[in-house]
Structure 1
Amino acid sequence: MLLRTITRDRRDLLGEGLMWSARQNAVYWTDILGQRVNRLLLDSDQVDSWKMPGTIGWVVEREDAPGFVAGLDRRIVTLTLDPLTIGTLADPDRAGNRMNDAKADAAGRIWFGTMSMDGAQPTGAFYRLDADGAVARVDDGYRIANGPAISPDGRTLFHTDSGLRTVYRFAIGNDGSLGDREIFIRFEDDWGDPDGMTLDADGGLWIACWGAGCVMRFTPEGRRDRSITLPTSQVSNCIFAGERLDMMFVTSASDGVNDSQAGALFEVDPGCIGTPTRRYHG
């Protein structure tokens, strides 16, 4: 099975926020603690990196405007990289928190979570950013809000509290409202903590397992049926990429980890096809 470490001149302190750009044939990801946005060009394997003025949790491409919307510190900002420009859209969260992870859905909304800086207190929340710029807090009380993923039909949202080692499932209404929070998966002791997530075309949920050094796939019924081992323990996020969406990239963290592969970006063969990455419509 393919396992490739992407060659570059640095390692991430906390790799996260993976995003596939079909427009650029590129994979973007963030280094939250290293305060960087990174880009891998698939045509050439060139890796570029931009220093940010704070912790950066995620970037999402814009549909009808240049650049990205991003989660910077606790703010939502517009972001371009060449040249670097940053403009504040909203500052919705509590003092002492930061952005952690996000995904856009087919309607062009962004779903994002927040957490306290140390992840020890349940001050994090889950939000929806609409195309008109309105922000709604849709759930609350998270220690480490993480890994939103939206089902291929757009009707179900998965979200996790890594601190509680629990993956939740919500029904999504046509207006963007969420149904009741349901427990979908409780992680077993040797599975690590659920971190970033993505879905394949068959509705399988792929989860980066922080502390367990792997990504796992769960069936639409919540049964674990596949695992890919990585050569470092703190695996943090995963995304499908490539023209056929048959490639998978995985981030990791080096902060507090003493091994040569910690903080690397990996490519693995998932053996399946992913779902398209959506853009923000604002």
Structure 2
Amino acid sequence: MSEAVTALDHPRCELGEGPTYDPHTDTAWWFDITGRALHEYSFSQGLSRVHALPFAASALARVDARRQALFTETGLVLRDVASGALTPLQAIEADDPETRSNDARVHPCGAMWLGTMGWDAQPGAGTIWHYRAGVLTRLFDGITITNAICFSPDGALGYFADTAKGTIFRVPLDRATGLPTGAPQIWRDRFDGGPDGAVVDAEGCLWVAVWGSASVVRYSPEGVDVARIGLPASQPSCPAFVGPKADRLLITTAALGLDRGGEADGLTHLAPLAVPGLQAPDLII
């Protein structure tokens, strides 16, 4: 474990997921999926909050100064930041009680890729969807655990994982729409655990939370392991760049399924970076 890794003074999650950062307010947001809660941490104020939700949710995108889009078990829901009021935006597999939301990320063009999976990780139950400006498109299905959705800095490449297969795929994209222009190819299929959430830094390298490995690993665009952040928690789930300069990595973790979890399992961790990250784009609804 790196001595520079610290845990936020914030409640732990059973299944922490989907961190993102709003540079306009210097605030990080993430979820406890099984705990049905949205977590908030203001770095400038040192303020920590947990917002109860009426559904399970797993990812968030900023829409504008007033609104966020939450990816929930039944689709996208708009949330008013000031009041917490929730308004349905786009149903996604709302008629299928066997599936829920999982990983998601906004493409540089403002579109969002959204991955579902079975509540019990049923084989092949997951799908990756594309949403932009009111239009929902099915991209890839037959995936067991959708994860590692992220994009190259110029938007020309997309990545996604099937954690159950231990594989991350790469696909060429239309930079103006975030839609695929070719078929996915295996990018890397050798990991020390399960490839979970991922983000791409300004140099085009992927930071992948490797579930079960107690680490987040940086891979070059060619899939070569070039750096590693060790963690005191065995199940890292997803990273996000935070800070006005995107020079730190916030990492959610999970205590789910651990009979004898350690003190750090389920906590949210912070690590400095020596390379520049990228700020998350806003979602176009």
TM-score range with shorter-chain normalisation? over 0.9
Which residue number corresponds to residue 279 of structure 1? 282
Matched residue pairs, number? 277
CA shift digits 1:220-242 (9 cap, x unpaired): 11111111110011110001111
List structure 1 segments (4+ residues) > 4 angstroms apart after TM superposition: none
Q: Distance in 1 between matches of 2:68 and 2:218?
A: 29
Offset, 1:243: 1.1
Q: Which residue of 1 aligns with 2:103?
A: 101
Residue by residue over 1:155-198, the C-alpha shift from the partner in whole angstroms, topping out at 9 and shown as x without a partner, is 1011111111100101112443212111001023xx11000000
Higher mean C-alpha deviation, range 65-74 or range 239-248: 65-74
In the other structure, the counterpart of 1:127 is 129
- Match of 1:74? 74
- DSSP-derived class of the 1:163 partner: helix
Amino acid corresponding to residue 6 of structure 1 in structure 2: L
Distance 1:52 1:81 in 2: 13
Q: Which amino acid counterpart does residue 181 of structure 1 have in structure 2?
A: P
Indicate the SS of the match to 2:198. strand
Distance, in Å, in 2 between the alignment partners of 1:215 and 1:221 is: 17
Q: Could you tell me the TM-score, scaled by structure 2's length?
A: 0.94
Aligned match of 2:40: 39
Please name the residue that 1:263 is paired with: 266
Gaps of 5+ in 2: none
CA drift at 1:77: 1.1
Letter in 1 for 2:91: D
Q: 2:7 aligns with which of 5, 8, 13?
A: 5
| Alpha-carbon separation, structure 1, partners of 2:60 and 2:246 | 19
Q: Which residue of structure 1 lines up, in the alignment, with residue 92 of structure 2?
A: 92
For 2:110 and 2:125, the matched residues in 1 are separated by 27
Percentage of pairs with the same residue: 26
Q: Which structure 1 residue ranges, 5 or more long, are not aligned? A: none
Look up the match of 2:202.
201
Retained in 1: the 8 A contact 2:15–2:256? yes
1:209-228 residue pairs with structure 2 within 5 A? 209-228=210-229
- The residue that corresponds to 1:116 in the other structure is 118
Work out whether residues 126 and 143 of structure 2, in 8 Å CA contact, stay in contact via their aligned partners in 1: yes
Please give the alpha-carbon distance, in whole angstroms, between the structure 2 residues aligned to 1:28 and 1:137: 27
| Other structure's SS at 1:84 match | coil
- 1:81 CA displacement: 4.0
Shift of 1:88: 1.4
Measure the CA separation in 2 of the matches of 1:205 and 1:219: 7
Q: CA RMSD in A?
A: 1.3
Q: Does 1:237 align with 2:206?
A: no
Asked if 1:181 corresponds to 2:184, the answer is yes
The match for 1:52 is 53
Which residue in the other structure is 2:158 paired with? 157
User: Which moved further from structure 2: 92-101 or 25-34?
Assistant: 92-101
